[in-house]
Chains A and B, each alone.
Chain A
């Protein structure tokens, strides 16, 4: 499980997750992810295209960060392309109805600035 991020400017942050976000993997990155994704007001794009496994613990982290951003007036969206298992997991848990999902990175970035 790997986590890296890139700030485009003061308004937009991209967070790239890769590998196995199973229960153990999600717990390993939970603190850092929460700090990066939810501690300050940003437009946050979370990239999940390179995630091979997404557990309910990983989804909890996404929801918590999205709620934290919303409370601060920011917005969090997901960019995922080509990872069927991640898309299926997000749809099965109804998260796709709560957190906007995009398969185009530029659209995702525009969405957090809207």
Chain B
């Protein structure tokens, strides 16, 4: 694992292994706190990070597990609105969580019909304000954004 810090952007590289999600979470929290991101927004990003890394490990396939995952974090402060951005780059199978924005399975209406599949994607969309995805050099690039007003 290696980390480097610039005034604007923090980078962490981790193995694609389940336990490293914990280290990534600690890194995210400390990085966000250092840039005065509100606790509520850190919690939102943390949930997104956990779901994305779990997806890479469980569904990314052999190429994902054989390659490092790169995380980049930065904060963009506007006049009224601020955004924290987390970029996750992995070498797993192509997976665009932004695809079919209305394509989530309907929520079950009773326990007997409940299917746990798709919960992670639903959480990712719920906890983020914006997701953007592209695939470059055989790697998934997913940017997760949460926004807040400095006035609050």
- Write the residues of chain A forming the contact surface with B, with a CB cutoff of 8 angstroms: 22-24, 27, 53, 55-57, 59-60, 63-64, 66-67, 70, 85, 89, 92-94, 97-99
Contact = CB atoms under 8 A, between A and B. Distances in A.
25 contacts: A22-B21, A22-B22, A23-B18, A23-B53, A24-B21, A53-B46, A55-B47, A56-B116, A56-B120, A56-B123, A59-B116, A60-B116, A60-B119, A67-B111, A70-B111, A85-B47, A92-B126, A92-B127, A93-B119, A93-B126, A97-B107, A97-B108, A98-B110, A98-B111, A98-B114
B63 interface: no
Interface in B67-104: none
Nearest to B53: A23
A55 B116 contact: no
Main secondary structure of the interface of B (DSSP, over half): helix
Contact of B108 (A22, A57, A94): A94
A85 B21 CA distance: 19
B119 A59 contact: yes
A70 B113 CA distance: 12
Nearest to A91: B126
A-B residue pairs, 6 tightest by C-beta: A94-B107, A92-B126, A56-B119, A60-B116, A23-B54, A56-B120
Contacts of B22: 22, 24
Given A22-B21, A63-B114, 5 more contacts: A23-B50, A23-B53, A60-B119, A93-B119, A97-B107
Contacts of B130: none
A24 B19 contact: yes
Main secondary structure of the interface of A (DSSP, over half): helix
Contacts, number: 71
Contact of A23 (B21, B111, B122, B126): B21
Contact of A67 (B50, B114, B122): B114
Contact of A97 (B21, B51, B109): B109
Contacts of B123: 55-56, 89, 92-93
Nearest to B127: A92
A88 to B, nearest CB: 8
Contacts of B50: 22-23, 53, 55
Contacts of B112: 67, 70
A49 to B, nearest CB: 16
B43 interface: yes
Contacts of A63: 111, 114, 116
B126 A55 contact: no
